[in-house]
Amino acid sequence: MNQRAFSYASQATDQVAFDAGLRAHMLRVYQYMGAGVGLSGVVAWLMATFAAPVIASPLGFLFMLAPLGFMMFLSFRIDRLSLGAAQGIFWAFCASMGLSLASVFLVYTGESVARAFFITAATFGAMTLWGYTTKADLSKMGAFLMMGVFGLMIASLVNIGLALFTGESSSMLQWIMSVAGVAIFTLLTAWDTQRIKQTYAEHWGDEANGKLALMGALSLYLNFINAFQFLLQLIGQRRE
């Protein structure tokens, strides 16, 4: 075998190994993400079913803040944590998110919650498949989407301020936020999927790939949960 033929064979072998590694990596990401969503759903349902009064107590406010604490700790300390410790914090985050989502089962009917969940799941599947397979560079829309996320945060604070000072929030602003939120987090699903692929390529063969899969799962999880919540605000039927 001459030098050129050997080089081509080596490149082909590397490409096969890379493709297999990427598929395994993405499968691990989706397994983490799917298990996290499942854990949050179970915790939310159990909380709403057996401990509904706690949601309206001062502890309910703590439940809302707990996921943010776990997420920030995991995001900023991931490099210093072992894989096992990072996994533990990820599961704690998903469980605490379930506590904060328990009110969903009290505010909306079970049928509308299920409908919003399955629509979100189907849309998520389509967008993450597009993000994985497309040859287009989605990185350019990332900055605009993140600006949209900050815009949603500002609009949410404005609506909360209106509720505090006038006694009533703006239903029109809430509707606009819900439509924008569904669109933004749906597109972020595709963008994050492509970003996860690129991050794997940059760290191919590193021992840190287990943590990369966990952080990728966290990004997709947040996109799914946010899209679900905004969609539920749009199409959900409230309990009487």
CA distance 178 to 192: 21
Is residue 124 a part of any domain in this protein? yes
Is residue 99 a part of any domain in this protein? yes
Classify burial at 45, counting beta carbons within 10 Å of its beta carbon; exposed 0-12, middle 13-18, buried 19 or more: middle
User: Does the pLDDT of residue 240 top 80, yes or no?
Assistant: no
DSSP-assigned beta bridge partners for residue 108:
238
Is residue 179 a part of any domain in this protein? yes
**pLDDT value, residue 60:** 72
pTM of the model: 0.89
User: Does the pLDDT of residue 74 top 90, yes or no?
Assistant: no
Is residue 31 a part of any domain in this protein? yes
Is residue 75 a part of any domain in this protein? yes
Higher pLDDT, 154 or 201: 154
Is residue 220 a part of any domain in this protein? yes
pLDDT, mean of residues 127-140: 92
Q: What is the mean pLDDT of the chain?
A: 86
Domain that holds residue 7: 3-235
Cα diameter, the chain:
81
pLDDT, mean of residues 29-43: 96
- Joined tokens for residue 119: 């629509």
Which DSSP string corresponds to the chain? Answer: --HHHHHHHHHHHHHHHHHHHHHHHHHHHHHHHHHHHHHHHHHHHHHHHH-HHHHTSHHHHHHHHHHHHHHHHHHHHGGGS-HHHHHHHHHHHHHHHHHHHHHHHHHB-HHHHHHHHHHHHHHHHHHHHHHHH--S--HHHHHHHHHHHHHHHHHHHHHHHHHHHHSS--HHHHHHHHHHHHHHHHHHHHHHHHHHHHHHHHTTT-TTHHHHHHHHHHHHHHHHHHHHHHHHHHHPPBP-
Instruction: State how many domains the chain has.
Output: 1
Is residue 240 a part of any domain in this protein? no
CA distance 10 to 134: 26
Is residue 135 a part of any domain in this protein? yes
